[in-house]
Amino acid sequence: MKANPRSSQAIKSGKKSSSAVEDYLERIQELIESKGYARSVDIASSLGISQASVTNMVKRLDCEGYVKHERYRGLVLTEEGRIIARAISERHRILTAFLRLLGVSEEEVESDVEGMEHHLSPSTLSAIEVLCSELSSNGELRDKIRIQQV
């Protein structure tokens, strides 16, 4: 459960991006991975927001050098956009695993991860990752701290 050092480094030293920018980049990456492309209409639908809002954010992402619009292909992440999207996905994966190891219900995991993932320092995320590794390999410790479902 080791984080990608390159993607972690992007969050540590790259431009500071907002939660909204990170959410868009993560969603664009997910759409590209699942469908092979990302269009504004798909982003709007998956985020539950208007296409006009997506258009405004896409312009911002383009100006900041995170995406390019390619005719007939939709949005394409730049190298910097891909690095940040991968780092956010990795954060999401680590936090999801952590909360599951603690026994948090699946309904709460996703909402909690969405609330937490943009607000952790790289050192805190690294500590959580180490703890996940320990909890994964130490069933006794995991059982000791697991949340008891009511």
Please report where in the chains the tokens 């939709």 appear, as a residue: 74
Residue 47 has φ and ψ, to the nearest 5°, of -95, -10
**Statement to judge: residues 33 and 57 lie in one domain:** yes
End position of a domain, from candidates 35, 67, 83: 83
Q: Are residues 100 and 120 in the same domain?
A: yes
Say yes or no: 10 and 75 in one domain. yes
- Point out the domain boundary residue: 83, 105, 120: 83
CATH number at residue 141: 1.10.60.10
- Residue 45's pLDDT is what? 94
> Cα–Cα distance between 146 and 135 in angstroms, integer?
10
Scanning the structure block, which residue is given the tokens 């500590």? 127
Residues 118 and 61 in one domain: no
What does pLDDT average to in each consecutive run of 10 residues of the chain (150 residues)?
43 61 94 93 93 94 93 89 94 96 92 90 94 93 76
| Other Cβ atoms closer than 10 A to 10 | 20
CA–CA gap between residue 127 and residue 149 (Å, rounded): 25
Determine contact, residues 42/53, Cβ cutoff 8 Å.
Answer: no
Give the residue ranges of DSSP H helices in 36-121.
40-47, 51-63, 79-101, 106-116
Domain range for 34: 5-83
How much is the pLDDT for 60? 95
Of 83, 80, 74, 85, the residue nearest 30 (C-alpha)? 85
> Which pLDDT score, from 0 to 100, does residue 73 have?
77
Together in a domain, 66 and 101: no
Residues 137 and 96 in one domain: yes
How much is the pTM?
0.78
pLDDT score at 18: 87
